[in-house]
Amino acid sequence: MSIFRCTSTFVLIAVGFAVVAQAQPGKLIPGEAEITPMIARTEQAIQQYKPLLDHEEIQLGADVVANDRKDVASLEVAVENLKSDPLEFNGPAGFALFQWLENASRNAALCASSASMQAESQIKRGNTTGASSLHHLAEGCLDISTLLHTISVNAGYLYIRYADSEKQIAIENAKMLQQCTDMLKKYDTSPIKPLQKTGPL
């Protein structure tokens, strides 16, 4: 009976942590109320970034923008998957989203830097029209880089909350398991030895 009670207690506590995690996302594992708006902002940022990629390709070349397009495509796939099930963020999908956001933000920042340098070069050559176009590209890339970075910070914060919650749940479960083990040690579970025969009285 003691073994059954200990096992049942362990299962109930594990389930209890899962229920609490879903019921109080603001305190433990992030819930849909926090994840869904972040996914929506990411989707909006992607739509703002795409025209800049076309502009970047015209100004800086297809080879330069090829990697940027791949990262944005990967980010789009991650967003679509999370839109169908936002709670998948609490796992490998959340970390992947954070990485793609950081990659896209870095790429946009590099675009801004390259466009700015080329704009200066065009000014020195007296090509004010070309310089103006590159300047607008640099501004746009800098803005989208900042936006993507802001979203990635939010995603990182939520993912850290998830990871910390998982760690805390594991610690509590380990404590309960140890308590169960200690309880079982109090009972003699060794097989009963048969009575030894004694000689005739």
The answer as to whether 36 is a domain residue is yes
- Over residues 1-36, the pLDDT tens digits come to 444 344 434 433 443 444 344 434 445 789 999 999
Per the domain annotation, does 51 fall within a domain?
yes
The token duo for 185 is 């040690």
63 inside domain = yes
Phi, psi of 43 (to 5 degrees): -60, -40
The count of structural domains within the chain is 1
Per-residue pLDDT of 59-92, as tens digits, reads 999 998 999 999 999 999 999 999 999 999 999 9
pTM for the whole thing? 0.71
* Helix, strand, coil content of the chain in percent (nearest 5): 85, 0, 15
CATH of the domain at 87: 1.20.120
CA distance 119 to 128: 9
